[in-house]
Structure 1
Amino acid sequence: MTAPRGEKATPVVEIAGGLGRTVSLPAARDGAPQPAAPPELDYNGRRHRRAMDDATLMDMARRIPRALAQTARLAWSVDRRMAATIVGCQLLSGVATAVMLGAVARALPRLAASDPRDGLTHAWPALAVAIVAMAGGAAMWIIADWATRRLNPKIASAADLTLVDLHMRADLFAYDTEGFSDRSQAAEIGSLRAVDLADDAKTLTNGLVQLASAATVLTSLHPLLLGVLLLSVIPRGMGGVIAARIDYRVHDRTLSARTVRGMMRWWLTTADLADELRANTMRPYLHFWYRTMCDRVEGRELEGARPYLLVTLLAASLAGVFTLGMWASPAALVLAGAMSAALAGTAVVASRTAGRALNSIVRYGAVMFHHGLYLNDYYTFVDEVRSTVTARGATRVEAPRQIRFEGAGYTYPSKDAPALHPVDLTLDRGEVVALVGENGAGKSTLIRLLTGLTTAGEGAVRWDDTDLATADAESVWRHVGLVPQRTGRWPLAARENITLGQPREDGDDRIWAVANRVGMDDTLHGLPGRLDTLLARSVWGGHELSGGQWQRPACARAMYRGPAVLVLDEPTSEMDARGEHTIFRELREMAPDRITIVVTHRLDDVRMADRVVVLDQGRIREQGRFEDLVAAEGSLLGELHALSKDR
């Protein structure tokens, strides 16, 4: 391509891609090195890494019944009627197979009569039974499939809702325990695979029933045939297990690349980073990075194709040899006079039925083994989080007039040093208290304790005379209004972003009143649907607020609740001066009816507080009126205030 006149052409380096493709990347200028390919990623810490490779056939045999039981438990909990329908249809399908094979066994000797018409006359009742049984078995499979399709959405919703609900109700200390995020992710995978397990369980149990029916018929024809059947299906079964392991190994080796590629894809296509990506000319390298990841996944999947083919061919060849033996066995029994030719034909039909059933058992058994590991993670995680939900007391509390810290401290589970050393502190209704301190001083932990989000590891936090460790958490939070540092930008209508589940007692009048108090009414009036406008730019018809504008509905949410304990953690960090002034003016006006705690790094805003509590390395270093502390010699607040003036 020719560069426009007056511009210097940019050389391009072609980098080989998969399937003969190339990636165009601008050549480095002034001898700068070319971008390095992204490093190989391999998350060795994954809990079930190499689970399929390391498992023996006995391990798989033990795990599969457990996975079946857990799947049945989940299905039974969401829709007993559909679960019972599936089980009943599976059993009836097996009965139909046995009846069909038995009818064929009765019909074939009659068809072998010297007079075909006479043979057909005597055989048609058995043939009719066989046809009806086949149709009945097919109908049972269709009904079971219908029931599964009705059951699957309910399983998906139930598993997902359970996890979401438990995450919202879990005690916050659970999030701080080591490995919580990993266990949560594994449980989420388990909930996603629960639907696959329902389908796999249906097919696997159908295979087991069909195999049992066919084996019963073969044994009734001649006991030798059962042993020959096992010999004929073992190579196919072993081949299926090995092929499943090859598939799993490819999946495992590409999991990290696929996961990171999926994460990067969102970043490359979201509007949130579109400005940065273009203005900083990041597109060529990021496209090269993404293409490299695609090629790695593609290459490893292609590497697995050859061994998969070889294993499948070898298994099929051995199975073919043994299948010939299966067919030769009835012939030998016929020649030896131990079986009639008609019964030998029945044996061949039964062996083919058993072979198809075993293929389903091997294939879906391997899948259930792997999926079952994650379903077990789901149940383990659910039990773990439920135990944290029920750990609190049952005492119901009312709006406090006073909050007291009595030697209250807290150490996070994964840390050695306390985040908050034992402190004594009293907060009274009508008082505005400012918490000040450098990063890591313990401000967030103190807020968690006073709002009952976390119970004290030592000492006690009391609302009036009630220890929050013995209180019902929901009754505590009913009196709390919290504006955290990171507020939710909920993809809901503007109205719900303010009320967020609280009752609308006065229609929209109270909403507009609160919006006015936080200086947001003009913004809401400017939206196309006003309070009905969806605040989510990524959704059709939605609109977005700026960072400072988003802090206003967060403050409005807390004020709309009319809480007895109002906590604001850096509530105006992204607001302009006018918005900041409006918020703090409203805090002062609301103060007489509640306990108000404000965390801020803007020390000029601290002047509006009745009392300032300064935290330093998890301890209360000083507290008092702003003017007194700033003027005191050696005051940390004075030092921080002086530094803020020098900036």
Structure 2
Amino acid sequence: MTWKASDEQYELEKYRMKKEFNIVSLHQVVNALFILGIILIGRNNNITIGDFVAYSQLLSMSTATIKMLSGGIGTLINQGLYIVDMNKFITIPEKTTKKMAVLEHVDRTHIFSVENISFKYPNSDSFILKNISFAISQGETVAIVGENGSGKSTLIKCLLGLYSAKEGRILIDGEDIEDIPQKELYRKMTALFQDFVNYELTIEENIALSETEDINQIQFNKAINEAEVIQFLDMLSEKEKTTLGYTLDNGRELSGGQWQRIALGRALYKEAEIIFLDEPTASLDPISEVKLINRFIDICKGKTAIIISHRLASCLSADKIIVLHEGRVIEVGNHEELLLLRGQYYQMFQSQANSYQYQVGCSS
């Protein structure tokens, strides 16, 4: 999918500001006409204090009504812009490929081969990713780390096929990702992002979102056990049929951690061969994050897992760690190998370790 985000956003904002300016202008014109009317009445006729108070109240009530109407019109205009965006999104044609490649067991040595990819956003001259190359083998757990703005999340979106690299190519099972139909590609992958959505549906529908009309009960039971949804599911009277959120009648609200387990269960229900975890634990404390990452790694044994985490303690069990810096891969290895290099990873790890030691010292 190609973007025209900056230009479209600019046009939408310009349109919105223009409409709001027209509404405010109308509001001010009406106020001026009322004031002018009172002045003319007072000039041409004898006006009593009672008349003045009545006209003033009329002006105040009319102004309030116009303000309320203009606010409602402004809201409708803003919502209309979102509806236009939604309609555009719905009508985007499915990505076409040069050839209809089918993912088979073509190359089981490297399930991912990233070859010299570079990426930049539309209407931007600077590359976010620069000449990146690496390989991920079948069954590996790989951590991608780096400072904020180093390109971690952008790289994940390229690997998922959500973004198209401007240069280079990404191979999955020996096939170029650009040649693989989207449905075939997404069948093989699943992802849990930091900003996962809390769907106000039943727990069952939340987890089996991709196939709510024909839920595989075996996969569902496995997902709720692996994601530990079962721990709070038994406390709900309607079990998996419980409606979540307060929008619908009799809905139940969950804690942040419980919603996170629901999102993890949704990712695991799909039973995809490649699983992405993009910093969904950013709001957790370090101990909770390490527990979640370790549980995730145990669940993904035999599958390929790709993890982004800003806390390096979560990467100790990874088979391979890829270190990004300013959009480039600067180090690749496991935890022990990268510590021996005494490079960027070593410095980041030492910095975080010192920070934790300082916090422990302050609390003791």
TM-score normalized by structure 1?
0.43
Instruction: State the partner residue of 1:518.
Output: 227
Instruction: State the partner residue of 1:149.
Output: none
Show the 5 A alignment for 1:341-360.
none
Instruction: State the partner residue of 1:485.
Output: 194
> For 1:523 and 1:394, how far apart are their aligned partners in 2?
47
Letter in 2 for 1:566: I
Percent same amino acid among aligned pairs?
26
Instruction: State the partner residue of 1:607.
Output: 316
Q: Is the 8 A contact 2:222 2:269 kept in 1?
A: no
> For 2:319 and 2:21, how far apart are their aligned partners in 1?
60
Q: Which runs of 5+ in 2 are unaligned?
A: 37-76, 356-364
Q: Per-residue CA shift, 1:310-356, capped at 9, x if unaligned?
A: xxxxxxxxxxxxxxxxxxxxxxxxxxxxxxxxxxxxxxxxxxxxxxx
> For 1:394 and 1:538, how far apart are their aligned partners in 2?
45
Q: Is the 8 A contact 1:485 1:569 kept in 2?
A: yes
Instruction: State the partner residue of 2:157.
Output: 448
| Cα shift at 1:432 | 0.5
Aligned residue for 1:478, secondary structure, equals helix
Q: Is the 8 A contact 2:141 2:318 kept in 1?
A: yes
Q: Per-residue CA shift, 1:65-104, capped at 9, x if unaligned?
A: xxxxxxxxxxxxxxxxxxxxxxxxxxxxxxxxxxxxxxxx
Asked whether 1:177 is paired with 2:31, we answer no
Letter in 1 for 2:136: L
Q: 1:415 aligns with which of 124, 137, 157?
A: 124
Aligned residue for 1:557, secondary structure, equals helix
Q: 2:344 aligns with which of 621, 636, 640?
A: 636
Q: 1:395 aligns with which of 100, 103, 110?
A: 100
Q: Per-residue CA shift, 1:206-225, capped at 9, x if unaligned?
A: xxxxxxxxxxxxxxxxxxxx
Q: Which runs of 5+ in 1 are unaligned?
A: 1-170, 190-248, 258-295, 308-370
Q: 1:253 aligns with which of 10, 21, 26?
A: 21
Structure 2 CA distance for partners of 1:416 and 1:506, relative to 1, 3 Å: closer
Letter in 1 for 2:275: L
> For 2:130 and 2:114, how far apart are their aligned partners in 1?
11
Instruction: State the partner residue of 1:129.
Output: none
Structure 2 CA distance for partners of 1:494 and 1:524, relative to 1, 3 Å: same
Give the paired residue count: 306
> For 1:620 and 1:429, how far apart are their aligned partners in 2?
21
Instruction: State the partner residue of 1:157.
Output: none
> For 1:607 and 1:390, how far apart are their aligned partners in 2?
38
Structure having the higher Rg: 1
| Cα shift at 1:384 | 12
| Cα shift at 1:582 | 4.9
| Cα shift at 1:646 | 2.1
Q: Is the 8 A contact 2:293 2:314 kept in 1?
A: no
Instruction: State the partner residue of 1:596.
Output: 305
> For 1:468 and 1:410, how far apart are their aligned partners in 2?
15
Greater share of helix residues, 1 or 2?
1
Q: Is the 8 A contact 1:449 1:456 kept in 2?
A: yes
Instruction: State the partner residue of 1:460.
Output: 169
Q: Is the 8 A contact 2:208 2:215 kept in 1?
A: no
| Cα shift at 1:534 | 1.7
Q: 2:291 aligns with which of 581, 606, 618?
A: 581
Q: Is the 8 A contact 1:518 1:583 kept in 2?
A: no
Q: Per-residue CA shift, 1:447-481, capped at 9, x if unaligned?
A: 11111111111011111222112222222112110
| Cα shift at 1:392 | 4.3
| Cα shift at 1:407 | 1.0
| Cα shift at 1:583 | 4.8
| Cα shift at 1:299 | 4.9
Letter in 2 for 1:398: L
Q: Per-residue CA shift, 1:280-318, capped at 9, x if unaligned?
A: xxxxxxxxxxxxxxxx985554446799xxxxxxxxxxx
Structure 2 CA distance for partners of 1:300 and 1:542, relative to 1, 3 Å: farther
Show the 5 A alignment for 1:59-138.
none
Structure 2 CA distance for partners of 1:602 and 1:392, relative to 1, 3 Å: same
Structure 2 CA distance for partners of 1:643 and 1:588, relative to 1, 3 Å: same
> For 1:185 and 1:477, how far apart are their aligned partners in 2?
34
Instruction: State the partner residue of 2:354.
Output: 646
Structure 2 CA distance for partners of 1:528 and 1:298, relative to 1, 3 Å: farther
CA RMSD of aligned residues (A): 3.5
Show the 5 A alignment for 1:217-296.
252-253=20-21, 255=23
> For 2:90 and 2:249, how far apart are their aligned partners in 1?
39
Structure 2 CA distance for partners of 1:584 and 1:628, relative to 1, 3 Å: same
Q: Is the 8 A contact 2:289 2:314 kept in 1?
A: no
Greater share of strand residues, 1 or 2?
2
Letter in 1 for 2:348: L
Asked whether 1:618 is paired with 2:327, we answer yes
Letter in 1 for 2:248: V
> For 2:217 and 2:135, how far apart are their aligned partners in 1?
37
Q: Per-residue CA shift, 1:169-213, capped at 9, x if unaligned?
A: xx2x42x631334567899x9xxxxxxxxxxxxxxxxxxxxxxxx
Letter in 2 for 1:545: L
Q: Is the 8 A contact 1:502 1:561 kept in 2?
A: no
> For 1:491 and 1:304, how far apart are their aligned partners in 2?
49
Q: Is the 8 A contact 1:536 1:543 kept in 2?
A: yes
Structure 2 CA distance for partners of 1:473 and 1:252, relative to 1, 3 Å: same
Show the 5 A alignment for 1:556-567.
556-567=265-276
Q: Is the 8 A contact 1:409 1:418 kept in 2?
A: yes
Aligned residue for 1:522, secondary structure, equals helix
Structure 2 CA distance for partners of 1:384 and 1:422, relative to 1, 3 Å: farther
Q: Per-residue CA shift, 1:586-636, capped at 9, x if unaligned?
A: 4234231x3210001121110111000000000001010111102322x11
Structure 2 CA distance for partners of 1:410 and 1:518, relative to 1, 3 Å: same
> For 1:466 and 1:589, how far apart are their aligned partners in 2?
27
Letter in 1 for 2:113: R
Q: Is the 8 A contact 1:551 1:575 kept in 2?
A: no
| Cα shift at 1:394 | 4.8
Aligned residue for 2:262, secondary structure, equals helix
Instruction: State the partner residue of 1:278.
Output: none
> For 1:543 and 1:383, how far apart are their aligned partners in 2?
31
Letter in 2 for 1:552: R
Structure 2 CA distance for partners of 1:533 and 1:180, relative to 1, 3 Å: farther
Q: Is the 8 A contact 1:393 1:472 kept in 2?
A: no
